[in-house]
């Protein structure tokens, strides 16, 4: 589905009075939810697509002999490897709550499950609810409220245990 088709679908949902549309194909899923209370209500879009991992070009490296050096203690490393990183699926502005006077969707220590709304990312005047695809506990919020985010930027760390 290309950008023009998605925009046409959003316009159709806004005009038709339909509350929710969900389309799933083999390579992506899009859910469009519209509130029907007033004319200027936001339209929420949730989109998930597989993430392509770029393959790094590797060249053979010749071994280099180095003289033995005395062992030095390694600096302490934060053990974030056991955590799942939830990343931004799009470019936009990150919001932790639905409004300035509302509570944050999740905080550090919050237990989440698949489908839990984590935040909103505003892109082109559309407010996109970002939902969790994993279950666990929020360990760290990596982005400040009302900050711009990039595609694939880490947003949250989740302890799956």
Domain boundaries, the chain: 3-48, 81-159
Residue 14 C-beta-side C-alpha neighbours within 13 Å: 15
Selection from 134, 64, 130, 142 nearest residue 92 by Cα: 130
Query: pLDDT grade, residue 78 (50/70/90)?
Result: low
CB atoms within 10 A of CB 120: 21
**Predicted local distance difference test score (pLDDT) of residue 30:** 76
pLDDT of 13 above 80: no
- State how far the alpha carbon of 34 is from the alpha carbons of 27, 58, 86, 120, 148, in Å: 24, 47, 25, 15, 24
Strands (E), the chain: 20-25, 28-34, 43-48, 84-87, 92-95, 111-112, 117-123, 126-131, 136-141, 147-149, 154-159
Return d(Cα 69, Cα 74) in angstroms, integer. Answer: 14
Largest Cα–Cα distance in the chain?
A: 74
Choosing among 3.60.10.10, 1.10.260.40, 2.40.50.100, 3.40.630.30, the CATH entry for 81-159 is: 2.40.50.100
Q: Give the DSSP H/E element, type plus range, for residue 60.
A: none
Query: pLDDT grade, residue 45 (50/70/90)?
Result: low
**Predicted local distance difference test score (pLDDT) of residue 92:** 95
Pure H helices in 2-156: 3-16
Query: Whole-prediction pTM value?
Result: 0.52
pLDDT of 86 above 60: yes
User: Rounded to 5 degrees, what angle do the CA atoms 146, 77, 84 make?
Assistant: 50
Query: pLDDT grade, residue 37 (50/70/90)?
Result: low
What pLDDT digit, counting tens, does each position of 93-142 carry? 999 999 989 999 999 999 999 999 999 999 998 999 999 999 999 999 99
Q: Of the segments 10-19, 47-56, 75-84, 143-152, which one has the largest average pLDDT value?
A: 143-152
């Amino acid at each position: 589905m290309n950008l023009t088709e998605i925009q046409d679908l959003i316009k159709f949902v806004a005009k038709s009075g339909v509350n929710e549309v969900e389309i799933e194909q083999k390579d992506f899923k899009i859910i469009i939810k519209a509130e029907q209370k007033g004319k200027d209500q936001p339209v929420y879009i949730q989109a998930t697509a597989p993430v392509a991992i770029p393959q790094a070009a590797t060249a053979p490296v010749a071994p280099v002999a180095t003289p033995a050096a005395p062992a030095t203690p390694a600096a302490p490393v934060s053990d974030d490897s056991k955590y799942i990183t939830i990343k931004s699926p799009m470019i936009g502005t990150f919001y932790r709550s639905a409004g300035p006077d509302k509570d944050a969707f999740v905080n550090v220590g919050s237990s989440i499950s698949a489908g839990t709304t984590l935040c909103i990312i505003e892109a082109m005047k559309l407010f996109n609810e970002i939902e969790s695809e994993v279950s666990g506990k929020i360990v760290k919020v990596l982005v400040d409220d009302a900050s711009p985010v990039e595609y694939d930027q880490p947003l949250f760390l989740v302890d799956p245990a």
